[in-house]
A and B are shown apart, each in its own frame.
Chain A
Amino acid sequence: MAEKPPAPGFETLAIHAGAAPDPVTGARSTPIYQTTAYVFDDVDHAASLFNLQTYGYIYSRLTNPTVSVLEERVATLEGGRGAIAVASGHAAQLLAFFSFMEPGDQFIASNKLYGGSITQFGRSFKKFGWDCVFVDADDPENFRRAITPRCKAIFVESLSNPTGVIVDLERIAGVAHEAGLLFIVDNTMASPFICRPMRWGADLVVHSTTKFLSGHGNAMGGVVVDSGRFDWAQNDKFKALTEPEPAYHGLRFYETFGDLALTVHGHAVGLRDLGATMAPLNAFLTITGIETLPLRMERHVANAQAVAEHLERHPAVSWVAYAGLPSSKYHALARKYLPKGAGSVFTFGVKGGYDAGVALVEAVELFSHLANVGDTRSLIIHPASTTHRQLTTEQQIASGAGPDVVRLSIGLESIADIIGDLDQGLAKAMRS
């Protein structure tokens, strides 16, 4: 048997995975297939497509050639088997859980998640009868203690937004797999360049591609990546994939598609019925963004490290929560799981509390005051007055978004300009 060539490096995959020159025109960049539907060759071809017996495009709610390139690229970078791209990160979480949850089912999540995810899991998911139990992820045993017979999955963020909490992925994966549960990791804040959750046991990885993957603050999107390694038939918890699907004439996804089961199900059932499709233009922008992901992430983390070190010495700052600092209690976990740097989003406490936080976001010039992260531009927000204002004060503090907390997403501008703008903003905030 021929020797296998070495696997291509991450930078090569970020540019090439999923994309090839267009077979008809030779176009090198991935074309934007701005079409809703695709013609069938004949009735038999149409029937085969609707029966999932052959490959091809039917309708862009399910699949689209531009979106497929993005799906393969992210699946490859995460080391997964396949992926489903959707309209946003929230849609990715909805589709991931929709693929196996039933009314009355439960899953366990870290209590230090992006505030929007706590609201989605804790409130809106209740309308489907899905019960989310939040636990403190600092102790992996807290997940084990929360498991009930109706529990199906454990959900964490690899690098938590905005608190910089890093969870022990390997140990939590162990807890999940001992109980036959699916382990889902949101890898948005780290990106696959910095953290590879599937190496540590993640079964599914979800992303808001809106952040570092697209990277330029110009395209909404989300993605669910399946490792292809989870045995859906090991217990009776995942019947949507193991039992006959009436809408496909009794087809069993796991038996028919093996390790592609969730990827096929996510398109053929998930996108068919939830309809949270990614637009082809957004897929194109995200594909283009990913091509420079390794270069951007290197600069993002270098700039973030410099800003964090500067703020830690700043007289107007009471604390800095950045896992790249030796003072962080997550520093050791960061070195294990995020060896290339602790990301570029972190929080710090401004002396003077809520009012000083509000004054700072209004005083900065270069930083953009907005509710996003993972942009080429440096971004700033005061979570207690914006992203986390739907939460109670207790929830705000529990998720690391108390009154004095300011969140930064450090961009790619000149480091002296980033630090200079924060310094002048902090000086104004202290005077006010």
Chain B
Amino acid sequence: MEHESYSDAYLRGILNGVRTIAMVGASEHWNRPSFFAMKYLQDKGYRVIPVNPQAKGEAILGEKVYADLAEIPDKIDMVDIFRRAEAVPGIVEQAIEKGAKVVWMQLGVRHDEAAAKAEAAGLKVVMNRCPKIEYSRLNGELAWSGVNTGIISSKRRKL
């Protein structure tokens, strides 16, 4: 699959299909981007499980932190990667092992080889995007910030 751009239907399918997200590189510091994304996704009803070896055993936003994906006892639908591109292949291996359905790499993170490997194993892949921004873009909230959402519709949006 090409990864320069994604259709709204593809992203909607992913965001509507997953419930539990493992966030690799989640930070315990409230002013870090990963904290922003985790808090927002929790507010939208997702369960977000933080993965961060430095903060192992602590809690972020009420969720226990694990050192890696393999340690998480629960089923994972999606792995959201807040790490540099070099760290991606190892995380993708674990995501496949863990039975995740989606690998999502954050803004600025892209690894085409690892993406191809995940796709070959049947996972869906998104790169260089933020699930918080895409969720809010598709559901109207991003437009509140004066952003070009690309959404054109004369349907009344559900509250």
Chain B stretch 20-63: residues in CB contact (< 8 A) with chain A: 30-31, 33, 35-36, 39-40, 43
Q: Is the CB of A68 within 8 A of B40?
A: no
Interface residues on A, range: 35 or more
Complex Cα–Cα for A28 and B147 (A)? 20
Q: Is the CB of A256 within 8 A of B36?
A: yes
A249-B144 in contact (CB<8A): no
Q: Is A21 a contact partner of B155 (Cβ separation < 8 A)?
A: yes
**Is B143 engaged at the interface, CB distance under 8 Å to the other chain?**
yes
B interface: dominant SS: loop
Given contacts A258-B130, A260-B133, contact A63 B146 (CB under 8 A): yes
A24 at the interface (CB under 8 A from B): yes
Does B17 count as interface, using CB distance less than 8 angstroms? Answer: no
**Do residues A72 and B156 form an inter-chain contact, with CB atoms below 8 A?**
no
The B-contacting residues of A in range 1-60, CB under 8 angstroms, are 1-4, 8, 12-13, 16-18, 20-24, 26, 28, 48, 51-57
CB within 8 A of A260: which of B31, B143, B147, B156?
B147
Contact with B along A54-96 (1 / 0, CB 8 A): 1111000001010111011001100011111100000000000
Q: In this assembly, does B18 line the interface, its C-beta being within 8 Å of a C-beta of chain A? A: no
Question: Does the CB pair A54–B43 fall under 8 Å?
Answer: yes
A-contact 0/1 string along B116-151, CB 8 Å cutoff:
000000000000001001001000111111111111
Cα A54 to Cα B135 in complex, Å, equals 12
Instruction: For B36, give its contact among A2, A24, A53, A75 (CB under 8 Å).
Output: A53
Q: How far is the CB of B26 from chain A (nearest CB, A)?
A: 14
What is the distance, in angstroms, from B67's C-beta to the closest C-beta of chain A? 25
Let me know if B152 and A51 touch, CB within 8 A. no
Tell yes or no: B107 within 8 A of A by CB: yes
Whether a CB of chain A sits under 8 angstroms from the CB of B16 is: no
Pick the 4 closest A-B CB pairs, nearest first: A71-B146, A55-B141, A258-B107, A75-B148
Selected A-B contacts with CB under 8 Å, 6 pairs: A3-B7, A20-B140, A51-B30, A75-B147, A260-B145, A263-B146
